[in-house]
């Protein structure tokens, strides 16, 4: 709460901070999903509890869609 009050005292808009945190989250999510899919598909890490092929496919699809969305965001911002 004190950090929020300090940011308000410096004139930083909370909505702008929320927007930029969402942008950072959207850009960082695809590489993190790739890491999770790779780790959960590796038997040396997961043992016998590796992801089944369907979940691996869904993970890669999710990473690709989110990467495309992040690329589209940057594409629309080009000026």
pLDDT for 78 = 86
Total residue count of the chain as it appears in this document: 79
* Separation between Cα atoms, residue 39 and residue 25, nearest integer Å: 20
Written as tens digits, the pLDDT of the chain (79 aa) is: 898 888 888 988 888 888 999 999 999 999 999 999 999 999 999 999 999 999 999 999 999 999 999 999 999 998 6
pLDDT for 79 = 65
* Separation between Cα atoms, residue 70 and residue 30, nearest integer Å: 9
∠ CA 62-14-71, rounded to 5°: 30
């Amino acid at each position: 709460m004190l950090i929020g009050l300090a940011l308000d005292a410096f004139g930083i808009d909370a909505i702008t901070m929320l927007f930029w945190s969402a942008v950072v989250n959207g850009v960082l999510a695809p590489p993190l999903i790739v890491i999770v899919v790779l780790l959960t598909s590796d038997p040396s890490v997961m043992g016998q509890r590796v992801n089944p092929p369907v979940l691996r496919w869904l993970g890669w699809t999710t990473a690709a869609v989110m990467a495309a969305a992040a690329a589209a965001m940057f594409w629309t911002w080009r000026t």
